[in-house]
Chain A
């Protein structure tokens, strides 16, 4: 019984939140890593792409809600995601056409593109705030919980509650589906393979009859979709605010790098590592331990390795240690 309580407490406060957060980071990192792999630069505007995709989704959700459409227990926003993707896709394609393409054709070195993407970031940022404003926006509806803590306690008779939000469930399921789809696409379809080929060797891709502009376009479309899905899930789970999306950039980049930039598998692993190290290291183990240990050994303090002030710092230390012991990165990315 005590063991079960300990397990439930751990799941409730560490496992479930970390998995959900990890999936959100992973989806974001996938987008970053795809652009890095195929378009060859670190896209600083990704956080704001997520914000814009989410913004369009929100506007569409409001429209649907106004029309009385609903998905029952599921959030209406899921229905609006395609609109968000379309909006984000349109925006990134336009940006590519008028900004990035110039540098690509000039064979500008990636670092230039990185700085250019910072400029784009500023612009997207302004656009988002301009259209929807800097405020918090709530757009989640439907059932909030699959099971909440109180119900769980009643059901099981345990002392500890376990809450599972529907958004967490949706996040995880969506992440799995999206990742599976992406893998299948990259490894088994002609277009996917042509993208990998282009990423491997641009000139040779040209010589094989692959149209680079098409590859670029498909990449942006996928990235727009990933960004919108990630952003919407994040917004559903927490809430939408442009500034948080900008702040998300750092953990997303950390995820992508630790997993090995350019490697989709790595992005996913990286997302989970960051999420787990943020949530796990700063967790106060007192509760879990007091269930597990005999009363005489019960800890007096909180048994917290680090205070939560350092959660982000800790996750970085973990990354560095991971990299020190796995010099090729978790999944060998494009790095030398």
Chain B
């Protein structure tokens, strides 16, 4: 018997370079469940991929509709960008009663969406991280910064919450300039930001998109040499590419304290997936949650997922790390309770959103070194 899970990500379009790893990572969780062999008496989870395009709501909706009504997926791991996620949610998922767990739609607006209890996300809403980043700057006694954010709901929401928190602590934002992803030239933005000045440049973007381009341009012109970075900027590739220039820069990233992430890094690396990529961890967790919720509900159905996600994600119960899904199955089969920790220390609050813990890191000797957890 087969239970299909939709994996809807923007395989083409502006974040196409992130999505393959995200998809692989989600499928890694599913195959881990399958390999355990204990899932619902021989039901096999089959991922079905579809392209959300990240930007074309109509095409994304059509793709989701196809997955739901043709392929008969029971739950959706996705979508990625907040815009298409909202469209799929209200036009395909809610009407058909199919739950969605998005690994990367971080828009605060989705918290208020009319989701009928079907929408969850493993990425924290941006509202919280703004506060975290502001407090980090406070710790470092930095009072004047320039901000650049990627011009989408993630970046904008993040920048808003950061600005609110930072100004509350008495900090000054000299200029908050958005940048578009998928462009190559950021001279204009850097020119304006440099003129505005500031001790550090706060970069709230993606590490393989405009965020990197902005840092590159800032370094090239000597406009800034220290950067404070949001979660989207956390990646090894960035370190590798920019090398020593990033020395002394710092940032925050949602992080499971210790074990969970390490465990994930290990199994992901074994499977040939870049564990450090943006949202790969969240993707793994999203897929894992779907499987666990089904197991908990005792049947491979949409309703089981919707009803049990919160339950398996949160305490009480035994803590489950990546790579321990098989163990979780056994516990659940025996009627036990689990608290899925996963790669990102999943804790769903409110209507099913990740609460998120954050790691405050600094780049020293070409490595991310943890300063503290928040």
- Chain A positions within 8 Å of B, measured between CB atoms, are 9, 12-14, 17-18, 21, 129, 133-136, 138, 144-145, 148-150, 152, 161, 163, 165, 234, 238-239, 241, 243-244, 247-248, 278-279, 282-288, 302, 304, 307-309, 311
Q: Which residues on B sit within 8 Å (CB–CB) of A307? A: 177, 192
B223 within 8 A of A: yes
9 contacting pairs across A/B (C-beta < 8 A): A17-B187, A136-B208, A152-B222, A234-B184, A241-B17, A241-B184, A243-B13, A278-B185, A287-B195
Interface contacts beyond A149-B221, A284-B192: sample of 14 additional A-B pairs, CB < 8 Å, sorted by A: A13-B187, A13-B195, A129-B12, A148-B222, A165-B220, A238-B185, A239-B241, A247-B184, A248-B184, A279-B191, A285-B195, A287-B197, A302-B196, A309-B178
Instruction: Kindly list chain B residues whose C-beta atoms are within 8 Å of the C-beta of A148.
Output: 222
Evaluate whether A284 and B222 lie within 8 angstroms (CB atoms) in the complex, with A238-B216, A278-B188 already known: no
Q: Tell me whether A302 and B220 are in contact (CB under 8 A).
A: no
Q: Type the 1/0 row for B8-36, where 1 means its CB is closer than 8 Å to any CB of A.
A: 00001110110010000000000000000
Q: Which residues of A contact B196 (CB under 8 A)?
A: 284, 286, 302
Q: Mark B291-332, 1 if CB is under 8 A from A, else 0.
A: 000000000000000000000000000000000000000000
User: Which residues of chain A are near B185, meaning CB under 8 Å?
Assistant: 17, 21, 238, 278
Nearest residue in A to B14 (C-beta to C-beta)?
A243
Establish whether residues B175 and A284, one from each chain, have CB atoms under 8 Å apart when the complex forms: yes
B138 within 8 A of A: no
Point out the residues of chain A lying under 8 angstroms from B189, CB to CB: 282, 308, 311
- Smallest CB-CB separation from B208: which chain A residue? A136
**A279-B188 in contact (CB<8A):** yes
Q: Is the CB of A161 within 8 A of B192?
A: no
- Tell me the smallest distance from the CB of A204 to a CB of chain B, in Å: 42
- The winner among B17, B178, B183, B184 for most chain A CB atoms within 10 A is B184
Give residues of chain B (52-107) contacting chain A, Cβ–Cβ below 8 Å: none
Interface size counted on chain B using CB atoms at 8 A: 37
Question: What 1/0 flags go to B230-249 for Cβ under 8 Å of A?
Answer: 00000001000100000000
Among B174, B178, B185, B221, residue most surrounded by chain A Cβ atoms (within 10 Å): B185
A238 touches B213 (CB 8 A): yes
In Å, the complex CA distance between A152 and B221 comes to: 11
B208 partner residues in chain A, CB cutoff 8 A: 135-136, 241
Chain B, range 152-184, C-beta contacts under 8 Å to A: 174-175, 177-179, 182-184
- Residues of B within 8 Å of A12, CB to CB, are 194, 221-222
A286 vs B191: C-alpha distance when bound (angstroms): 11
6 closest A-B pairs by CB = A149-B222, A17-B187, A13-B191, A284-B195, A134-B16, A238-B184
- Given A21-B187, A135-B208, A284-B175, verify A304-B182 contact (CB < 8 Å): no
Residues of B within 8 A of A239 (CB): 184, 212-213, 216, 241
Question: Considering the chains assembled together, what is the distance between the CA atoms of A140 and B190 in angstroms?
Answer: 21
CB distance from A324 to the nearest CB of B (A): 24
A9 CA to B12 CA in the complex, in Å?
A: 39
Give the complex CA separation of A244 and B17 in angstroms: 12
Max chain A CB contacts within 10 Å: which of B183, B197, B212?
B183
**A286 touching B222 by the CB < 8 A rule?**
no
Q: Which B residues are CB-close (under 8 A) to A238?
A: 184-185, 213, 216
Q: For A288, what are the chain B residues with a Cβ–Cβ distance below 8 Å?
A: 195
Q: What is the CA–CA distance of A286 and B194 in the complex, to the nearest angstrom?
A: 10
Contact status A244-B183, CB under 8 Å = yes
Bound CA span A307–B149, Å: 13
> A302 to chain B: which residues have CB within 8 Å?
174-175, 192, 195-196
Whether A163 pairs with B184 at a CB distance below 8 angstroms is: no
Contacts of B179 in A (CB 8 A): 308
Mask of B110-154 contacts with A, CB within 8 angstroms, 1/0: 000000000000000000000000000000000000000001000
A136 with B212, Cβ < 8 A, contacts A244-B183, A309-B151 known = yes
> In the assembly, what is the distance between CA of A137 and CA of B13, in Å?
17
- Nearest CB of A to B216, in Å: 7
> Are A13's CB and B16's CB within 8 A?
no
Residues A308 and B192 in contact in the complex (CB < 8 Å), given A243-B182, A247-B183, A302-B175: yes
CA distance A308 to B194 in the complex (A): 13
Q: Nearest Cβ in chain B — how far from A249, in angstroms? A: 12
B187 contacts across to A, CB distance below 8 A: 13-14, 17-18, 21, 278-279
- In the complex, which of the residues A13, A241, A278 contacts B194, with contact meaning CB atoms closer than 8 Å? A13
Q: How far is the CB of B320 from chain A (nearest CB, A)?
A: 32
Contacts of B223 in A (CB 8 A): 13
- Considering only CB atoms, which chain B residue lies closest to A145 in the complex? B220
Residues of chain B lying within 8 A (CB to CB) of residue A136: 17, 208, 212, 237, 241
- Which B residues lie within 8 Å of A247 (CB)? 182-184
Contact across chains for B195 and A283 when beta carbons are under 8 A apart: yes
CA distance A163 to B194 in the complex (A): 13
Asked if residues B182 and A14 are in contact (CB atoms below 8 Å), the reply is no
Closest to B13 in A: A243
A288 vs B192: C-alpha distance when bound (angstroms) = 11
Please report the C-alpha to C-alpha distance between residue A299 and residue B64 in the assembled complex, in whole angstroms: 53
| CB pair B222 A161 closer than 8 Å | yes
A283 in contact with B191 (CB, 8 Å)? yes
Q: Are B184 and A13 touching (Cβ within 8 A)?
A: no
Indicate if the CB atoms of A287 and B194 lie closer than 8 Å. yes
- With CB as the reference atom, state the residue of chain A lying closest to B151: A309
Q: Is the CB of A163 within 8 A of B222?
A: yes
